[in-house]
Amino acid sequence: MSTVELTTENFDDVVAVNEFVLIDFWASWCGPCRQFAPVYEKASEKHEDLVFASVDTESQQQLAAAFEVRSIPTLAIIRDKVLVYSNPGALSEVALEDLIEQARGLDMTEVKAKAAAAEAE
C-alpha cells in the first residue's frame, strides 16, 4: 500500500475510517528522515492491512504542532482513534516491526478505559 499524505484537511477522515494508522512526521531537509523513509515504505508494503501516513512538517506545521512534534522523524500510532504511541527517532526495520506487533497486541478496551480514567482525574 502506498503511503497516504496527511494534511489538516484529510486527517479526521483518515483517522475516522481506519482503525490502525501509523504516521511519519518528516521534512525533506532531515537526514534521519531520509534514512527512515525506505524502512517505513518497506513496512507499508508488508502490512497492507494498516494505513501508513506521512506528514510533511514544513507544509503541515499545524498538524505537527497538534502532535507536539519537537524532533523529526517522529512516528505516531493511532488505534481506534486513540494515540497509543508517539516518539522521535528513526527506527531500524526490526525495531519498527517490533513496534507494529506491540501496537497490534494492545487491548484497546483496556487502553480506552485507562485513557478515560486519566482524563477524569
pLDDT digit string, tens, across residues 89-99 = 999 999 999 99
Cα separation, 113 vs 119, whole angstroms: 10
Cα separation, 105 vs 15, whole angstroms: 19
| Structure confidence at residue 45 (pLDDT) | 94
What's the full length of the chain, in residues?
121
* DSSP, residue by residue, 24-50: EEE-TT-HHHHHHHHHHHHHHHH-TTS
> What value does the mean pLDDT take over residues 1-12?
89
CA dihedral 41, 66, 17, 13 (to 10 degrees): -100
Cα separation, 121 vs 116, whole angstroms: 9
Cα separation, 79 vs 48, whole angstroms: 16
Domain ranges of the chain: 4-120
Tell me: pLDDT of 2 over 80: no
Would you name the residues annotated as active-site residues?
A: 30, 33
Pull the grid cell for residue 106: 494492545
pLDDT digit string, tens, across residues 17-76 = 999 999 999 999 999 999 999 999 999 999 999 999 999 999 999 999 999 999 999 999
**CATH superfamily entry for domain 4-120:** Glutaredoxin (3.40.30.10)
